[in-house]
Amino acid sequence: GEDVEQSLFLSVREGDSSVINCTYTDSSSTYLYWYKQEPGAGLQLLTYIFSNMDMKQDQRLTVLLNKKDKHLSLRIADTQTGDSAIYFCAERGTGRRALTFGSGTRLQVQP
Amino acid sequence: NAGVTQTPKFRILKIGQSMTLQCAQDMNHNYMYWYRQDPGMGLKLIYYSVGAGITDKGEVPNGYNVSRSTTEDFPLRLELAAPSQTSVYFCASRRGENEKLFFGSGTQLSVL
């Protein structure tokens, strides 16, 4: 079946850039998403990218998609302590009605 | 708008007990989902529904049941709770296939 993998933990200093990586196996993935989960809360959609795009920028967030390698990344510029959270990569393939999620990357931002 | 509302927020069950996790959305969304999140793991799909009266199994449906008698509500039933069902349960909804997915704040369930 479909699989989405992420590294479990990333620590950065405040003001640095963070890059969170994700790989997926479904070659029919149409939409790829990044969700943020703060402690005790549900997931919130941060950004998404269509599979026919290579890059999407939204303020401090940059999403890069390498469809050939099935690799997705999220770059957060000027990382702040408020960015500390768990970040989930998710994908949805053609004809599928639910998203497949990765295990999440815990981002720790040190002052 | 309240969005997606889940109740209760926390619950402790004994092995073999039953309970229903409630989920309601007031956004007139057609699609609703139940996910579970185990520690250090991603979300696993339990059941989903594409509209009132229609439900389908997800990746990990065993031990659970759902119903969708109205557009607004999508309750998840645990009939005979087992320790393996200790998890955080998230309900989510969206209007259509290509629309944004909204999540509830979760129900933390412990089965002891």
Of A8, A41, A99, the CB nearest to B105: A41
Q: What is the pLDDT of residue A64?
A: 96
pLDDT at residue A24 in the model: 93
pLDDT in tens, B24-72: 999 999 999 999 998 877 889 999 999 999 999 999 999 999 999 999 9
User: Which of B48, B56, B103 is the closest to A42 by Cβ?
Assistant: B103
* pLDDT exceeds cutoff 90 at A3: no
* Pair B32, B93: CB distance under 8 Å: yes
How close B42 gets to chain A, by Cα (Å)? 3
A99 to chain B: which residues are within 8 Å by CB? 101
Calculate the average pLDDT of chain A: 92
Q: Which residue in chain B is spatially nearest to A8 when comparing CA positions? A: B40
State residue A1's pLDDT score.
61
List of chain A residues whose C-beta atoms are within 8 Å of the C-beta of residue B59: 1
Query: What span, in angstroms and rounded, lies between the C-alpha atoms of A110 and A13?
Result: 5
Q: Is the pLDDT of residue A2 over 80?
A: no
> Mean pLDDT score of chain B, rounded to an integer?
93
pLDDT band at B16 (very low <50, low <70, confident <90, very high): very high
SS3 B85: helix
What is the distance between the alpha carbons of residues A49 and A55, in angstroms, rounded to a whole number?
8
Q: Residue B25 phi/psi, 5° resolution?
A: -130, 145
CB-closest option in A1, A99, A103 to B40: A103
- Contact assignment for A97 to B31 by CB distance below 8 Å: yes
Average pLDDT over residues B10-18: 96
Average pLDDT over residues A42-49: 91
* Confidence at residue A5, expressed as pLDDT on a 0 to 100 scale: 92
Is A97 a residue whose pLDDT tops 90? no
pLDDT top residue among B6 and A42: B6
* Chain B CA closest to residue A36: B103
**Which residue out of B101, B102, B107, B108 would a mutagenesis test of the A interface target, given it has the greatest number of A Cβ atoms within 10 Å?**
B101
Find out whether A11 and A81 touch, Cβ atoms under 8 Å: no
Put simply, the answer to whether A41 touches B59 (Cβ < 8 Å) is no
Instruction: Name every residue in A having a CB less than 8 A away from some CB of B.
Output: 1, 4, 8, 31, 33, 40-45, 88, 97-104
Q: Measured between alpha carbons, how far is A42 from A63 in angstroms, rounded to an integer?
A: 22
Q: What is the reported pLDDT for A83?
A: 96
